[in-house]
Amino acid sequence: MSFHKKLATALEQALEQAQQKGLIVTANLPEITIERPAKPENGDYASSLPLKLARVIGMRPMEIADAILKNLPSIENIEKIDVAPPGFINFTISRKWLCGQVDIACKTGESYGDTDLDHKSVQIEFVSVNPTGPLHVGHGRGAVLGSTLANVLRSAGYRVSTEYYINDAGSQLDAFYRSLFARYRQCLGEEAELPENGYHGNYMIDFARQIVEVHKDKYLKMPPDEAVQEIGGIGIQMVMQKLKEDLEKLGVKFDVWFSELSLFQNGQFDKTMTMLREGSFVTERENAVWFASSTLGDDRDNVLIRTDGTPTYFASDIAYHYNKFVERKFDTVIDIWGADHQGHVSRMKAVMNAMEINPDRLTIIITQLVTLRRGQEIVRVSKRSGDLITLREVMDEVGADACRFVFLSRSADSQMDFDLELAIKQSADNPVYYVQYAHARICSILKNALEKGIDFSKGDTSLLKLEPELTLIRNMVKISEVIETVATGLEPHHLPFYAQELATVFHSFYKQCRVISDDDALTRSRLKLVKAAQIVLAKTLHLMGMTAPESM
RNA sequence: GCCCCUGUAGCUCAGGGGAUAGAGCACCGGCCUCCGGAGCCGGGUGCGAGGGUUCAAGUCCCUCCAGGGGCGCCA
């Protein structure tokens, strides 16, 4: 049982006792919450129950605190309980329990800190960029967020599936196909103009050249429409290949690559549309087919089938979500979208209602914009303009680990500037390296111990008594709370902050406590502590999708 | 005009209604007979403005101001 629960229960019992003895006159009890004090001298946990009660029962908070304290049963692994003005009850975890955690961490390894928050199946869909060009930094943010969330949710007990939705059926593809065909013809010396709304990026020329190398002028000899389709198909494969490589470099892997086209081929699109029609959520006017989302609380209706008979992105997204919830039966689904898709949220919520699925089962995380800059100069990242800095280029400049750390360090709600100049310049004084350095340092100590032939597996952790040692343990132990916080709020930005904290207390411990010394027994116990710290630090880095280097 | 996000230290950002609001960077001082100095220790008049709720507000509610994004038969 967690300390939170244990303490809340104990407080409740104490309150009952105090009431029975007439020390406190009963009233409506507020919910008992346990807090974590900001200052270490206020213990590990605290309750402000006396403050909350003071008004309802008309007593002074400190008196209530005393009355509760007198009736508090002894609580396992809590060694000190005291009352502090203006009316807090503070609890301190026993040293014995803390030391025991070091043994447990060494024994359980990287699963240390995992919790059983929930066992629901959850699908996380992210990135899902159109297969028409390379990833830019904004996509990187979503990719890092999604993959980290997946790691953390797994650690919290969820059954997680990560997914990339390939938009291989939309109208954007046509522009991409024709742009590529035009570039292909240009490569072969023909006059060809890029279509309006075409893709002007230089990467298109590279693709065209590669196609020319393999297929020569084969596509000039066939009917243009046919050629466009075939070349387009090849182009998509090439883009997807690059996307996968880039994502892999960033440490992002997907369990499922889901094709939009498949929804049309296996009839699920039609099935979903029929269902919407039967539910009277579909109207026809102005020669188009509309989803009547305004009847479900959205501010306006949205087109499903255009005048020209082609379905919109929105229409297939409905079928896609029907597939997620009804066909594949995920308990909950998390979609991670960029800020430019924000307007799509209310529509999807309306869709959930239309499909009679509880909208709470769908969480949509909107990541705010990333502006890329070099010093004062803002770098545009538009795919069509052709002037773009890709995610790959950024990774090549600052490294995948630093990329991930920077993206993770800000909450999805805040927009961010990614300053390449600064990221490179500061690379030596970067929190990324600070954290990784702590890990490398630990590995070096452990290697040292190994070379000296010290076996610390039976180290006696009860010898750990100094403040730096205990502070380190206290911080290590917090990992499970961090995992729960991140999993509950879906906010991975707590991880980098935690990682820095952990690195700081380790460095501080290292400075103050010599690990390998003449005192054999103490050496063994401290080595065990160092090993435990290594496990927790590595785990934190791995949750963030970063490497935990043994040397740097 | 309507909707979403944001305003906290010089800069980039954390802060699950609670105790004296914290980190990193930058800046200024210290610390190497010793396991990695990419380190440690010290240095701070800051919550956009104004109301409200509460014993308690950076946190919740309202108004205003400022910045970003969205309001296509694009995705």
Choose the weakest-confidence range: A76-85, A105-114, A181-190, A367-376: A367-376
Q: Which two tokens stand for residue A203?
A: 């990467």
pLDDT at A300: 85
> Which residue has the closest alpha carbon to B6 C1'?
A414
- Mean pLDDT across A184-192: 94
Give the tens place of pLDDT for each residue, A478-488. 999 999 999 99
Task: Give the pLDDT band (50/70/90) at residue A409.
Answer: very high
The pLDDT score that the predictor gives to residue A387 is 53
CA(A404)–C1'(B36) in Å? Answer: 25
Distance, angstroms, CA A10 to C1' B9? 41
* Strand ranges for A402-462 from DSSP E: 416-419
Q: Which nucleotide is nearest to A288 (CA to C1')?
A: B73
Strand B contact at CB of residue A77, distance < 7 A: no
Rounded to whole angstroms, the distance from the CA of residue A35 to the C1' of nucleotide B59 is 15
Positions of chain B reached by protein Cβ under 7 A: 2-7, 12-16, 18-19, 21-26, 34-41, 54-56, 67-75
pLDDT of residue A381: 55
* Secondary structure class of A547 (helix, strand, coil): coil
User: Is the N-terminal amide bond of A86 cis, ω within 30° of 0?
Assistant: yes
Could you check: is the Cβ of residue A445 within 7 Å of any atom of nucleic acid strand B?
A: yes
Predicted pLDDT of residue A213: 96
Region of A421 please: left (phi>0), alpha (psi -120 to 50) or beta.
alpha
Give the residue among A286, A296, A339 at the shortest CA–CA distance from A318: A296
Nearest residue, CA→C1' of B22: A38
Give the contacts of A521 (CB within 8 A, at least 6 positions apart): A459, A460, A463
CA of A298 to C1' of B51 (A): 32
Q: Which residue minimizes Cα–C1' distance to B13?
A: A410
More confident residue, A112 or A423: A112
A328 touches strand B (CB under 7 A): no
Distance B6 C1' – A18 CA (angstroms): 47
User: Please, are residues A483 and A114 in contact by the beta-carbon 8 Å criterion?
Assistant: yes
CA atom of A39 to C1′ atom of B20, Å: 10
Task: Tell me the CA–C1' distance in angstroms for A133 and B75.
Answer: 13
Q: Report the first-to-last Cα separation within chain A, whole angstroms.
A: 40
List of A residues 11-50 with CB within 7 A of strand B = 35-39, 42-43, 46, 48
The residues of A between 225 and 264 with beta carbon within 7 Å of nucleic strand B are none
- Strands A362-367 and A332-338 come out as parallel
Angle at A73 between CA A71 and CA A76, to 5 degrees: 155
**A320: Cβ under 7 Å from strand B?**
no
Q: How far is the CA of A346 from the C1' of B2 (A)?
A: 14
Residue range A307-326: average pLDDT? Answer: 95
Query: Got the DSSP string for A280-347?
Result: T-EEEETTEEEE-GGGGT-SS-EEEE-TTSPBPHHHHHHHHHHIIIIIS--SEEEEEEEGGGTTHHHH
CA angle, A271 then A273 then A275, to 5° = 70
Q: Which nt is closest to the CA of A302, judged by C1'?
A: B73
Q: Measured from the CB, is A332 under 7 Å from any atom of strand B? A: no
- Is ipTM strictly over 0.90? yes
Proximity of residue A375 CB to strand B below 7 A: no
| Cβ of A431 less than 7 A from strand B | yes
The whole-number Å distance from A516's CA to B31's C1' is 21
Q: Is the CB of A307 under 7 A from strand B?
A: yes
Distance A495 CA to B32 C1' (A): 33
| Domains in chain A: ranges and CATH | 3-93 (3.30.1360.70), 171-249 (no CATH), 429-543 (1.10.730.10)
What secondary structure does DSSP assign to A504-525, as a single string? HHHHHHHHHS-SS-S-HHHHHH
Q: Which residue is nearest to nucleotide B71 (CA to C1')?
A: A343
Beta carbon of A504 within 7 Å of strand B?
Answer: yes
Examine the pLDDT at A443 and tell me if it is beyond 60: yes
Tally of CB atoms within 10 A around A188: 14
Lowest-pLDDT range, A87-96, A217-226, A393-402, A515-524? A393-402
Residue range A373-401: average pLDDT?
73
Q: Beta-carbon neighbour count of residue A262 at 10 Å?
A: 15
The whole-number average pLDDT for the span A333-345 is: 94
| Residues of A 185-224 whose CB lies less than 7 Å from any atom of strand B | none
Share of chain A above pLDDT 70, in %: 96
**pLDDT(A465) > 70:** yes
- A85-144: pLDDT as tens digits: 889 999 999 999 999 999 999 999 999 999 999 999 999 999 999 999 889 888 999 999
Q: Strand, helix or coil at A161?
A: strand
pLDDT digits (tens, 9 = 90+) for A513-524: 999 999 999 999
> Residue A492 CA to nucleotide B33 C1', Å?
45
Q: What mean pLDDT comes out for the span A304-324?
A: 95
Per residue in A132-182, pLDDT (tens digit) is 988 988 899 999 999 999 999 999 999 999 999 999 987 788 889 999 999
Check if residue A300 sits with its Cβ under 7 angstroms from strand B. yes
Q: Is the pLDDT of residue A428 over 90?
A: no
Determine whether the distance from the CB of A428 to the nearest atom of strand B is below 7 Å. Answer: yes
